A and B are shown apart, each in its own frame.
Chain A
Amino acid sequence: MALDSKIPSGPIEKKWYNHKFNLKLVNPSNRRKYHIIVVGTGLAGGAAAATLGEMGYNVTAFCYQDSARRAHSIAAQGGINAAKNYRNDGDSVYRLFYDTVKGGDYRAREANVYRLAELSNNIIDQCVAQGVPFAREYGGYLDNRSFGGAQVSRTFYARGQTGQQLLLGAYSSLSRQVAEGTVTVHGRHEMLDVVIIDGKSRGVIVRDMVTGEIKSFAADAVVLATGGYGNVYYLSTNAKGCNTTAIWRAHKKGAFFGNPCFVQIHPTCIPVSGEHQSKLTLMSESLRNDGRVWVPVKKGDTRKPKDIPEAERDYYLERRYPSFGNLVPRDVASRAAKQVCDEGRGVGTSKMAVYLDFADAIKRQGKARIEEKYGNLFDMYQEITDENPYELPMRIYPAIHYTMGGLWVDYNLMTTIPGLFAGGEANFSDHGANRLGASALMQGLADGYFVLPSTVSGYLGSTELKKVTTDAPEFKVAEKEVKDRITKLLSVKGKYSVDHYHKKLGKIMWDYVGMSRNEAGLKSAITEIRALREDFWKNVRVLGEGEELNQSLEKAGRVADFLELGELLASDALNRRESCGGHFREESQTEDNEAKRDDENYSYVSAWEYKGDGVEPELHKEELTFEHCKPSQRSYK
């Protein structure tokens, strides 16, 4: 099967405009006859379900949380980018587009990214209208800040809780549609399979997580907005429930998986403290605007930070990247932190941490100003570490945060299965090999409010869809498969808990497929994951029954999928013998240890096709062309 990205022709500024005109419409009075399923209710899913409902479609949304308001978009702290240029500092749609393509290390599609930058302004307007309480200046106008290495102030924010406020905005619109009767939301329901009839996605199989009942839902189109797969590493900044199951099952039903090895490791997280640790907490990147990152010059320096004189501190980001300093993109900052720790210059008891120091900022701006800007983050840090960051520098270390990879989609955000769409973090589309700060919220909402409602309509308006009910044999087969798998998980009755396997998988992934990757390590990872997967199915212990609320069973299904995805992730990393963005291959670096991209051989999107269990997946390549952003080696020096 040849990949067709369906990028519209014409100048980049006109592509989306023309494409929207060319998309077929559905008459308003006919829309209620179409049933659309949306899985996931975060920014992308919540916004898409609400907007499709407003347009008059009949929408059913599912989430594993008890409420749509709890999707993990809620945890995003820093902000959302938009090319409003309210600060008159030279920003524009074109500049946001350019920065995003460059930040993604030239592994994203230009047309998609341009559309994203274009829609960014509409998002802010929409959110303000919904009552999102963005930060404002005394004149009553919206405030902005510079974020994550951007040289313009284009980030809109609501204290350190921007994701929460944007999600509550989408949730309120969704709730309004529930009241209107256009959308039905099923909380505590987990999607376990997608149903394909005549080559088109026509529904899903879900498990009611309270009763354990397996249910079928038929539809005319299905949207997956189920987030990323960072929890394949066990420890990440994702919520505990975040999982790959929906997109993985779709992959196994024929949807290609794009760039699985592009994983973002966020530089400013609270370091791991011990074996019992269940998740990692992010400290917003905005802290790097005022905090200075450093480690001692000497190896194994155990002095307290305040006893280390200025001359014996290495502000390594400022030293190595004088023009961007502490604000270099995430991948660069993370790798630099790993390097200094590997050199034995890490701090704290684990020695796997670096300092983020606010002493200078407090001296210059006063404690009150710092408190105003970062108060809630400082409190959170103190809560977790029992240390006061106003007096001691914070200790931070990189952690898995976001996955740029995801289901391969065309310009319409449709996967390789007709009628199956993917939005937000669940698709691979806009961030290339590295996502810039404050761009995840932008992409989730652009997909949800603006792109999917147009393109899903376009699909429905131009596709002949025969009537389908859940009595169709395809539903019965899929239901049986889902039930059999649950029975299988429950009947292993082995020795080890699901968490035991999840932690082991996480360690393999972090050690070999983490911040720095090499051929030998990746090959070991693949071997070890295969062995672990085999052991899982022989020795996992899942207590209780299928027909009840069973959290071990929920986890078991998710970890079983992670055990398969982990291998694909490692295979993709092995195939991509270049360093780009978050993907660093030790074989491909410059003399001063910077990432070295190989445009000649790897300027493509890897799209993997599932070929059966135990069979090598097939790699398809979508070649990337750059007409506007000429690939150059990224330099932040």
Chain B
Amino acid sequence: MNFKLKIWRQKNSKDKGRFVDYTIENVADDTSFLEMLDILNEKLIANNEDPVAFDHDCREGICGTCSLHINGRPHGPKPKVTACQLFMRTFRDGEQITIEPWRAKSFPVIRDLITDRGAFERIIQAGGFISASTGSAPDGNAIPIPKADAEWAMDAAACIGCGACVAACKNASAMLFVSAKVAHLGKLPQGKVEAKKRVLNMIAQMDKEGFGSCTNTYACEAECPKGISVANIAYLNREFLKAGLS
């Protein structure tokens, strides 16, 4: 397969950045999207040109490192997969593919397609945990947890922290990310003790980081590679209101 690529190149955080056109030929259809970029980079290196910098690590859809905006969509056109699990057979032969970094004020570009997602770190540090120091735990079966609650918690906990929700949102809101953590911990009895403090602190940090507000367009859920539900946002709003009232 052959493709025309339009890739965002930006030397560093101070550079203005621009799109650069490339062509790539004879790509096997079972090549992954990141492997296609590997092939391009090998070609660039052979021509003494700087390879394209992009974030990636596990290449099996779980680490949340890869973060490519492909043809205007986070992680590309295929629902519920990360860019590393996207294969070239998804595209038409000869298609032009535009590749950009996440676009959000809170995720500044470091180089080319790599952004700084440190804002997510600070949100978790603000309250995305249960204060259970090592050694203090009772037996794992001491507190039974209804299966439905455990399943909801697991659904929310499946978030990989990639930031696609922010990149998809016209307001660059981080509500899906934050709500997934609030719901994961809040649904479990162990997490209820700190629920109020958690939701208030995480929301405060989210606002401080400059993420936009949620206007319920559900673009985040549509683009989330792990299918995190917007029902978590409803849960978060309820928790937030409750915390404010009590």
Contact = CB atoms under 8 A, between A and B. Distances in A.
Contact of B58 (A75, A161, A549): A75
Interface string A124-139: 1111111101111111
A476 to B, nearest CB: 28
Given A69-B161, A178-B125, A384-B87, A74 B120 contact: no
Contacts of B132: 126, 129-130, 173
A497 B110 contact: no
A551 B35 contact: no
A72 B51 CA distance: 25
B12 interface: yes
B129 interface: yes
A385 B158 CA distance: 23
B229 to A, nearest CB: 15
Interface residues of A, number: 80
Contacts of A311: none
Given A140-B146, A386-B30, A130 B130 contact: yes
Given A129-B137, A161-B62, A172 B124 contact: yes
Interface in B124-161: 124-126, 128-141, 143-147, 150-151, 153-154, 157-158, 160-161
Contact of A176 (B89, B129, B146): B129
Interface stretch (B68-76, B182-190, B237-245): B182-190
Contacts of B196: none
Contact of A278 (B35, B50, B136): B35
A69 B159 CA distance: 11
Contacts of A277: 35
A551 B50 CA distance: 10
Chain B contact residues: over half helix, strand or loop, or mixed?
loop
Interface stretch (A457-465, A510-518, A540-548): A540-548
A176 B194 CA distance: 13
B42 interface: yes
Nearest to B124: A175
Contact of B121 (A51, A75, A159, A175): A175
Interface stretch (B96-104, B111-119, B167-175, B215-223): B111-119
Given A136-B145, A175-B121, A548-B12, A70 B184 contact: no
A535 interface: no
Given A74-B62, A133-B154, A386-B89, A65 B57 contact: yes
Given A551-B51, A552-B51, A142 B141 contact: yes
B153 A133 contact: yes
Place the interface of chain B in its size category: 35 or more
A179 interface: yes
B179 interface: no
B147 A140 contact: yes
Given A133-B188, A278-B32, A549 B110 contact: yes
A276 B59 contact: no
Contact of A51 (B11, B128, B134): B134
Interface string A34-57: 000000000000010011001000
A65 B30 contact: no
Contact of B136 (A129, A134, A385): A129
A543 to B, nearest CB: 6
A551 B157 CA distance: 31
Nearest to A542: B45
A383 interface: yes
Contacts of A239: 57-59, 63
Contact of A175 (B28, B51, B129, B141): B129
Nearest to A237: B60
A551 B53 CA distance: 7
Nearest to A72: B58
A449 interface: yes
A158 interface: yes
A249 interface: no
24 contacts: A54-B133, A66-B116, A67-B121, A72-B57, A74-B63, A125-B138, A129-B136, A133-B153, A133-B157, A168-B157, A173-B133, A175-B125, A179-B126, A276-B27, A278-B32, A279-B59, A282-B60, A386-B89, A453-B134, A497-B45, A541-B48, A543-B49, A543-B50, A549-B53
Given A72-B63, A129-B138, A380-B85, 15 more contacts: A66-B116, A84-B141, A122-B137, A133-B157, A137-B147, A173-B134, A178-B125, A240-B58, A274-B30, A276-B28, A276-B31, A279-B60, A449-B134, A453-B134, A541-B45
